Amino acid sequence: MKQLFKALMMHSAIGAWLGKLPFVKSLYIRHVWAGRMDLFYGLFGSYAEAERFSASIGKVGWHDDTLAELLVRDADVEAPDLFQTSQYAVMLWLSKLLQPGGTVVDFGGAGGIFYELCERYGLLKPPLRWHVVDMPDMVERGRQRHATLGSSMISFGSELAEAPAPDIMLMLGMIQYLPDPFGEHGPGILDTVPALPDHILINKIPISDAPDAWTAQNHVSSVIPCRLFNRAKFLAYFEARGYHLQDRWLVPELLAEIPFHPERTLTYFEGFYLRRQA
pLDDT over 70 for what percent of the chain? 77
**CATH 3.40.50.150 for domain 37-276:** yes
pLDDT reading at 170 higher than 70:
yes
* pLDDT at position 37: 61
Contact 225, 195 (CB under 8 A): no
Give every strand in the sheet of 37-44, ordered side by side. 37-44, 213-219, 223-230, 207-208
> How far apart, in whole angstroms, are the C-alpha atoms of residue 95 and residue 113?
17
Q: Indicate the range of 46-55, 73-82, 94-103, 153-162 predicted with least confidence.
A: 73-82
102-154 pLDDT tens trace: 999 999 998 898 999 999 889 999 999 999 999 888 888 899 888 988 998 99
How far is it, in rounded angstroms, from Cα 134 to Cα 111? Answer: 8
Residue pLDDT, tens place only, 183-200: 999 899 999 999 999 999
Domain spans of the chain, in order of start = 37-276
Q: How far apart are CA 73 and CA 77, in angstroms?
A: 6
pLDDT tens digits along 221-249: 778 899 999 999 999 999 999 999 999 99
Residues 258-265, mean pLDDT to the nearest whole number: 88
**pLDDT tens column, 21-70:** 665 656 666 656 555 666 888 899 999 999 998 888 776 665 666 655 66
